[in-house]
Amino acid sequence: ASPAADASALCAALFDAYALLLGSDELLLGTLERIRAGNWAPGALRQTIEEHCGRFAAMDDPYLRERGADLRSLGQRILVRLVGGRRTPAYPPGTLLVGERIDVMDLAEVPEGCLAGIVCAQGSTLSHVAILAHARGIPAVMGVGDYPLHRLDGRTLMLDGYLGRVYVDPEAEALRELERIQGAERAMAAELSHWRQGPASTADGLPVALRVNLAAPAEVDLALGAGAEGVGLYRTEHPFMLHDRFPSEDEQVQLYRHVLAAFAPRSVTIRTLDAGGDKALPYLPVREDNPFLGWRGIRMTLDHPEVFVAQIRAMLRASQGLGNLRVLLPMVSGLAELERALDLLDRVYDQFVRDEGPTPRPPIGAMIEVPSAVYQAEAIARRVDFLSVGTNDLTQYLLAVDRTNPRVAPLLEALHPAVIRALRDIADAAQAAGKPVGCCGELAGEPGAALLLLGLGFDELSMSVTALPRIRRAVHRFTGERVQGLAQGALRCDRAQAVHDILEEALAESGLGALGAVAP
């Protein structure tokens, strides 16, 4: 399904839920009772709604607290109708919705294709409006707080949905810069459209597996269109975050089957739930002082084996008749937890075969993204079928730099010599154990770094769908010998800047200067 189709299905489900809420006896009877007691209709309705909202607001669960906000906004709409209605404003193309509260119905009022962004004083990424905007690729900056939003009416705004920033009346120079970036992106996309097909290989014909990272089933079509050779990382926590409870085994089967069937016979690597850190589940609120050093990934699922077992069973069921499933375990920090996870997996698999008949055993991989796992990479590799390096976390843990903290962002340097040596050690460990090794962190989608990874001995690169064509093009310009030479050069550097220089020079020499290497 396209993101828009997903979004409208979600919209329809929400409107059904609102209709049920509005028709509920509690709301109607409570209002009628107040009218009979002598209150006027708008006042009676307002008080009944407030009473209900108060109950939601007192709940511990942040998801349910958000539903209280939905109810209040529904109530306000009815009140507006009761006291004389209001005109629906005109929404020209490029509309930005700015408000104290913006709800799903505000979104639905704007004609398709006219909405360019959302700025909301309240709400969070948990609000449905933010979820829907995200599914439609519309930037939404939520929770801007006390800013007097009425002052924004009629002003020019520039939104950065990634960083959650709003620029008011940006200077002409900033606007020109934005237009320049947009233009350059369009031109590059047009040029790269020739690099969307065929197996990827180096200039001397060595095959390279280029796969995609997926978070939502809606990205499947895009990934197929970009010629991905399968999925190197399917982050299952995203569908888990969009639910209001743990998705059932049956619901997970549907989700996984969609992706597995779309890519078959190409392999699809499904990662077990990697919640925690900056990916909290709305229905499992956890308060920790250091969430990135806390209850994350495999630590959480090993404490909740029922979640792990249901997920593995769902993957096995979804892959029946396809045989292209690979399972990936996140945040492995030592052998004890790896062995516990493998033991659970074996038990689920054996039971599954007893119940359902012969089923191919999926290859199992471990992510290497915690420094302790780097030092045990060979022992880990001997116990699994493949390794996959998560450079996003590996960099933050090796350099002690929180990947979500803007203040220390310049220190988050994935081409730091320490990271490069760790990558070399992991590749060597995988080779010693005779197992393939891939990289599924953002680094794999940067042209210079992708060449470096290949030179270090990585077999597979998995990246966001937009990076795929430019990486295919870059790989095609370099021989196996040349990328090995680049890796040797990078290993001799004792500063990240020197590594950037080597990679940028190599790209420029092969006519790819405009792409740049990894941004410092």
Q: Which residues are catalytic?
A: 128, 440
Tokens read off for 415? 């081409």
Strand pairing class (157-160; 165-168): antiparallel
CA distance 490 to 495: 9
Q: Which of 3, 75, 230, 390 binds Mg ion (CB under 5 A)?
A: 390
Q: Is 274 near ligand PEP (CB under 6 A)? A: yes
Q: Select 70 or 442, whichever has its Cβ closest to ligand PEP.
A: 442
- Which of 412, 425, 344, 418 shows the shortest CA–CA distance to 379? 425
Footprint of ligand PEP on 208-237 (CB under 6 A): 233, 235
Distances (CA, A) of 496 to 160, 167, 415, 417: 28, 32, 5, 6
Footprint of ligand PEP on 64-123 (CB under 6 A): none
Q: What is the DSSP letter of 519?
A: -
Q: Is 484 near ligand PEP (CB under 6 A)? A: no
Sign of the four-CA dihedral 483, 484, 487, 488: negative
CB of 330 to ligand PEP, least distance (A): 7
459 neighbors 201 (Cβ within 8 angstroms): no
| Cβ count within 10 A of residue 289 | 6
Q: Is 3 near ligand PEP (CB under 6 A)? A: no
Footprint of ligand PEP on 441-480 (CB under 6 A): 441
Q: Select 393 or 504, whichever has its Cβ closest to ligand PEP.
A: 393
Annotate each residue in 433-472 with x if it binds Mg ion (CB under 5 A) or - if it does not, as one string: ----------------------------------------
Which residue minimizes CB distance to ligand PEP? 390
Q: Select 239 or 390, whichever has its Cβ closest to ligand PEP.
A: 390
| Distance from the Cα of residue 233 to its chain's centroid | 11
Q: What HEC string does 184-235 produce?
A: HHHHHHHHHHHHCCCCCECCCCCECEEEEEECCHHHHHHHHHCCCCCEEEEE
Residue 460 interacting partner from Mg ion, ligand PEP, none (CB closer than 5 to 8 Å by kind): none
Q: Is 393 near Mg ion (CB under 5 A)? A: yes
367 neighbors 389 (Cβ within 8 angstroms): yes
Residue 504 interacting partner from ligand PEP, Mg ion, none (CB closer than 5 to 8 Å by kind): none
Residue 440 interacting partner from ligand PEP, Mg ion, none (CB closer than 5 to 8 Å by kind): ligand PEP
CB of 516 to ligand PEP, least distance (A): 21
DSSP reduced 3-state for 97: strand
Q: What single string gives the DSSP state of each residue in 296-339?
A: -HHHHHHH-HHHHHHHHHHHHHHTTTT--EEEEE-S--SHHHHH
Give residues with Cβ within 8 angstroms of 6, minimum separation 6: 135, 216, 217, 218
Footprint of ligand PEP on 317-356 (CB under 6 A): none
CB of 515 to ligand PEP, least distance (A): 22
Annotate each residue in 354-393 with x if it binds ligand PEP (CB under 6 A) or - if it does not, as one string: ---------------x--------------------xxxx
Q: Is 301 near ligand PEP (CB under 6 A)? A: no
Annotate each residue in 353-372 with x if it binds Mg ion (CB under 5 A) or - if it does not, as one string: ----------------x---
Q: What single string gives the DSSP state of each residue in 46-87?
A: HHHHHHHHHHHHT-S-HHHHHHHHHHHHHHHHHHHHHTT--P
CB of 442 to Mg ion, least distance (A): 10
Separation of first and last alpha carbons in the chain: 37
What count of residues does the chain have?
520
Size of the site for ligand PEP (CB under 6 A): 10
CB of 391 to ligand PEP, least distance (A): 5
Summarize as ranges the residues that interact with ligand PEP (CB under 6 A).
Answer: 233, 235, 274, 369, 390-393, 440-441
Summarize as ranges the residues that interact with Mg ion (CB under 5 A).
Answer: 369, 390, 393
